[in-house]
Amino acid sequence: MNNKLFEYTLRIADDSLILGQRLSELCGHGPILEEDIALTNISLDLIGQATNLLEYAASIENKQRDADKLAFLRVDKEYKNSLLVEQPNGDFGSTIVRQFLFDSFRRPFFEALASSTDESLAAIAKKSLKETKYHLKHSSEWVIRLGDGTSESHQRVQKSIDVLWRYHSDLFYEDEVDLALVSENIAPSFKEIKKEFNQHVLAVLEEATLKLPDNNWEFTGGRKGMHSEHLGHLLAEMQYMQRAYPNMEW
């Protein structure tokens, strides 16, 4: 069970870590100063979540790897984040759509995880939920603004939805790891979460005058360590210091 709990915790941690890293690339480059601050803030929250979760994962594993070793010294196949979060920032619209899909998943997910029988996960979920509600409000409002803004913004954001929607099902990927923990009431089932996700996404898209793509072709694999080409580059940058100067204190 510990192996499964470790794996499950990594999946949640890596989503926060990789998306936090992606958003941190934008610091200093936002379309307006207020958004620069908002995106950095979200990145900061996600790095904080990743830290808590990786510390917990390290304690489960109990093999003298601390949170930093887990964050910086695994190889790409050992990262268990969903494919969605590793996608490049693209334009502001695609950054927002990626965030919107992720937050729409994360809010009901943390809500459910807050009742986990695993006290550590429940506590982290409770804390993270507060932040996630703000993130979701922020990303939903921007989807509406961009969707119902100008024809250019509508087209751009619709294109981002068409491209990014194919990765959403990776968020709901479920295998023996999840199922074993669901049976112990440690992990919530994705069934209800997916329902809430769909409801929220559809309601926001409707208000934004946007729609889901007709093509329902989907990609999964992130939870098993099968990633897109993008992750390797992200890791090369993120791990640079730890790889170039191993075993040092910073």
Partner 1 sequence: MSEISLEELQKKFQNKIDKDVKIEPRDWMPDDYRKTLIRQISQHAHSEVVGMLPEGNWITRAPNLRRKAVLLAKVQDEAGHGLYLYSACETLGADREQTIDDLHSGKAKYSSIFNYPAISWADMGAIGWLVDGAAIMNQVPLCRCSYGPYARAMVRVCKEESFHQRQGFEIIMVLAKGTPAQKEMAQDALNRFWWPSLMMFGPNDAESKHTKQSMDWKIKRHTNDELRQMFVDVTVPQAESIGLTVPDKDLKWNEKENRYDYGKIDWEEFWQVVKGNGPCNEDRIRVRKKAKDDGLWVREAAMAFSQKRNNKAKVA
Q: Is residue 146 close enough to count as binding partner 1 by CB under 8 A?
A: yes
CB 43, min distance to partner 1, A:
6
The torsion angle over the Cα atoms of residues 140, 141, 142 and 144, rounded to 10 degrees, is 90
Please report where in the chains the tokens 């830290």 appear, as a residue.
51
CB 152, min distance to partner 1, A:
5
Phi first, then psi, for residue 128 (nearest 5°) are: -70, -30
Residue with Cβ nearer partner 1 (78 or 192): 78
**Which span (28-36, 74-82, 101-109, 215-223) binds partner 1, by CB under 8 A?**
28-36
As a whole number of angstroms, the distance between CA 122 and CA 9 comes to 12
Q: Is residue 33 close enough to count as binding partner 1 by CB under 8 A?
A: yes
As a whole number of angstroms, the distance between CA 73 and CA 64 comes to 13
Q: Is residue 128 close enough to count as binding partner 1 by CB under 8 A?
A: no
Please report where in the chains the tokens 């069970």 appear, as a residue.
1
CA angle in degrees (0–180, nearest 5) for 75-161-128 = 55
From candidates 10, 18, 54, 129, binder to partner 1 by CB under 8 A: 54
Residue with Cβ nearer partner 1 (176 or 248): 248
Residue 147: CB atoms within 10 Å: 23
As a whole number of angstroms, the distance between CA 21 and CA 60 comes to 24
Q: How many residues bind partner 1, per CB under 8 A?
A: 48
From candidates 76, 114, 149, 212, binder to partner 1 by CB under 8 A: 149
Q: Is residue 175 close enough to count as binding partner 1 by CB under 8 A?
A: no
From candidates 1, 3, 27, 183, binder to partner 1 by CB under 8 A: 27
| Distances 132 to 87, 91, 201, 206 between C-alpha atoms, Å | 20, 22, 15, 22
Q: Is residue 153 close enough to count as binding partner 1 by CB under 8 A?
A: yes
Contact 157, 147 (CB under 8 A): yes
From candidates 62, 150, 215, 216, binder to partner 1 by CB under 8 A: 150
Q: Is residue 44 close enough to count as binding partner 1 by CB under 8 A?
A: yes
Burial letters for 25-53: b for 16+ Cβ neighbours within 10 Å, e otherwise? ebeeebeeeebeebbbebbebbbebbbbb
Residues 70-89 that bind partner 1 (CB under 8 A): 71-72
Q: Give residues in contact with partner 1 (CB under 8 A).
A: 21, 24-25, 27-37, 40-41, 43-44, 47-48, 50-51, 54, 67-68, 71-72, 91-93, 144-146, 148-150, 152-153, 156, 237-238, 240-242, 245, 248-250
